[in-house]
Amino acid sequence: MSCPPPQPAALELDAVSWGRGILSPVSLHLAPGRVLGVLGANGAGKSTLLRLIYRFHRPEAGRVLLDGTDINALPARQVARRVAAVLQEQPTDFALTVAEIVALGRGPHRRGFAGPSAHDAHLVDHALERLSLGHLAARAFGTLSGGERQRVMIARALAQEPGLIVLDEPTNHLDIRHQLEVLRLVRGLGATVVASLHDLNLVADFADDLLVLAGGQALAFGPVEDVLTPDLIARAFGVTATPRDMRARFDFSLSH
């Protein structure tokens, strides 16, 4: 039995800022089902922005709106049913199995002290299958490679049935093949996606829209083909970008 895709969420950032210049006011509107890539050098404010979106931080000013409602005005459980985060930091409870980690994604949907339902079990099995993790379901999480752990965390997010998925460097620890597989899978989940990435050539194929940050400020937001230009790359990263083809792939060298 297949699982219906989630209802993608609309995301709006209304002049959100945090931390005395760590992130200056950022505004954007992301339509349901769009994939947003967040780019910037280390310290640009990418992780801070993501933490505001998945409600780890509360904005010092401005609002994060999910389907038109301020997420900080909603109950935490309601937000957790709609927003999933896949972070660079991974669980430290290595005693859990892969299937048990993925099943944690169903927690926000359970009522009171109710145990997992047949529907929960089906969604966990579906997520394991989508990430090609079925053969590892009974393995202890701590015995996996870094790339396998990352795939488990994406499976947990899938089991959560979110309308918005936030990913902080989702291709860390992955080889080239699994980078491409994971990004293709994330695009096909049906949710709205916000992801910070370092590989600009991967971004060109993965994202619909880009937000480029530098020094905590937004340099540009818009469709990939409008934003990912050599001039903007030079301003954001301090490198010279030479286009190789018409699909915004680049060769890079240090700027002088």
Q: Return the DSSP state at 205.
A: H
19 has pLDDT over 70: yes
Spans of all domains in the chain: 11-254
The answer to whether the CB of 10 falls within 8 A of the CB of 53 is no
- Average pLDDT on 91-107 reads 87
Radius of gyration of the chain (CA): 18
**Per-residue pLDDT tens digits for 29-73:** 999 999 999 999 989 999 999 999 999 999 999 999 999 999 999
d(CA 69, CA 128): 32
**Tokens describing residue 44:** 């640009």
- Average pLDDT on 108-116 reads 75
In this prediction, residue 230 carries a pLDDT of: 87
In this prediction, residue 67 carries a pLDDT of: 97
In this prediction, residue 160 carries a pLDDT of: 93
How many CB atoms within 10 Å of residue 136? Answer: 19
Select from 249, 2, 35, 255 the least CA-distant residue to 125: 2
User: Among residues of the chain, what percentage have pLDDT more than 90?
Assistant: 57
In this prediction, residue 196 carries a pLDDT of: 93
pTM of the model: 0.87
Domain 11-254 = CATH 3.40.50.300: yes
How many residues comprise the chain?
A: 256
Q: Give 150: exposed, middle or buried? Use CB within 10 Å, 0-12, 13-18, 19+.
A: buried
In this prediction, residue 215 carries a pLDDT of: 93
